[in-house]
Chains A and B, each alone.
Chain A
Amino acid sequence: MNIKEYISSGIIELYVMGLCSPEEEQELEQLRVQYPELQTAILQYEKDMEEKMLQQGILPSAAADEAILHRLESLSAPVVTMHNNITRVRKINWIRAIAASVAILLGISAYFNYTLYQKTKNNKP
C-alpha cells in the first residue's frame, strides 16, 4: 500500500464527512492504526475543518438559544421537573375542589331561594 497516495486520495475527507461506504470506513480504521502518518493526516484534517466551520458559524436567535438551553437543563434535572408537575397537579386539584364546593353551595342556595319564593307566593292571599 502506498500510504502517501492513499492519504491524498480524498478518502480522509470523505471519512471525516461521513461519506465513505462501510467497507472504506473499515479499511481506513484498520490502516490508521498501522500508519502513524495517516493518523496524523486525519487528525489534522479534522482540526482544520473544525476551525473553518467555527469561523463560519451562524448564530441562532436569542429566543432559540434560551429554549434550547432550557431544554438541556430540564434533561439534566428530571427530578425537579417531576416535582414541579406534582405541585401543579395539586394546585389544579385544589382549584377544582373549591370550584365544586362553590357550585354546590350556589345550587343549594338557589333551591332554597326558589322554594321560599314559591312558599311566599302561595301564602299570599
Chain B
Amino acid sequence: MQKLKQQDNAAFRYLYMHYRGALFNIILQVIPQNEAAADVLQEVFVQIWKNIDKYNEEKGRLFTWMLKLTGNMAIHQTRSKNFKVHSKNEDITNYVSTIDQKIEAPTGINHIGLRQQVHKLKPEYIAVLELSYFQGFKQEEIAEALNIPLGTVKTRLRSAIIELRKEFM
C-alpha cells in the first residue's frame, strides 16, 4: 500500500494486472462497447494514480474504493456523452421510460455480471437499483421520478440489495 501511495510504477502495474478484469466488467455493465469501456478503464487507472493519496484505509478496502470510483466514472461517461443537452430531470424521466426495455436487454453483450443478476429480481427492485447504481441518481430523484415516497425508495433499495446478495454471492 505504501508503494502505491508513493506512486511506484511496479506497484501500479501489479494493481492494474490484478484488478483490471473485475473493474472492466463493472464498466462493461454500464458501457457495453469494448473500446469505449477500455477508454474508461484507462481513465479509471489514471484517476486511481492521481488520487491514491485520498484513499483512506480506515474507510474500507482498496478494491471497494476503486469499485466506487469506477462506477462513478462509467456513469459520468455515459451522461456526458449521451445526455449533454438535457437537464437532469429530463434524464431521469427518459431512464424510467426505458427501464422496461432494459429488462429485456440490459446490455448489448451477454455479460455474466451484476446487471444481469439485478434484472432477475422483481421489477420494483430492478427500477431502484437501475436508477441508483447503474444510472447514478440520488434517492430523492428516484422517489420523484417513480412517484413514490422517499421512505419506500429506501426500503426497496435495502430489500433489493439483500436479494441481490443472495443471488450474486
Q: Which residues of A contact B (CB under 8 A)?
A: 8-11, 13-14, 16-19, 21, 29, 42-43, 46-50, 52-54, 56-61, 64-65, 67-69, 71-73, 75-77
Chain B residues whose CB sits within 8 angstroms of the CB of A10 once the complex forms: 157-162
Chain B residues whose CB sits within 8 angstroms of the CB of A50 once the complex forms: 22, 61, 63-64
Chain A residues whose CB sits within 8 angstroms of the CB of B159 once the complex forms: 10
**Smallest beta-carbon distance A70→chain B, Å:** 10
Give the number of residues in B that approach A within 8 Å (Cβ atoms).
52
The secondary-structure label for the interface of chain B is helix
Q: Is B168 close to A, CB under 8 A?
A: yes
**Smallest beta-carbon distance A77→chain B, Å:** 8
The answer, among B22, B37, B154, B161, for a CB contact under 8 Å with A53, is B22
The answer to whether A14 and B157 touch (CB under 8 A), given A59-B24, A65-B20, A68-B41, is: yes
Smallest Cβ-Cβ distance to B71: which chain A residue: A18
Chain B residues whose CB sits within 8 angstroms of the CB of A69 once the complex forms: 13, 16
Q: Is B111 close to A, CB under 8 A?
A: yes
- Whether A56 contacts B169 by the Cβ 8 Å rule is no
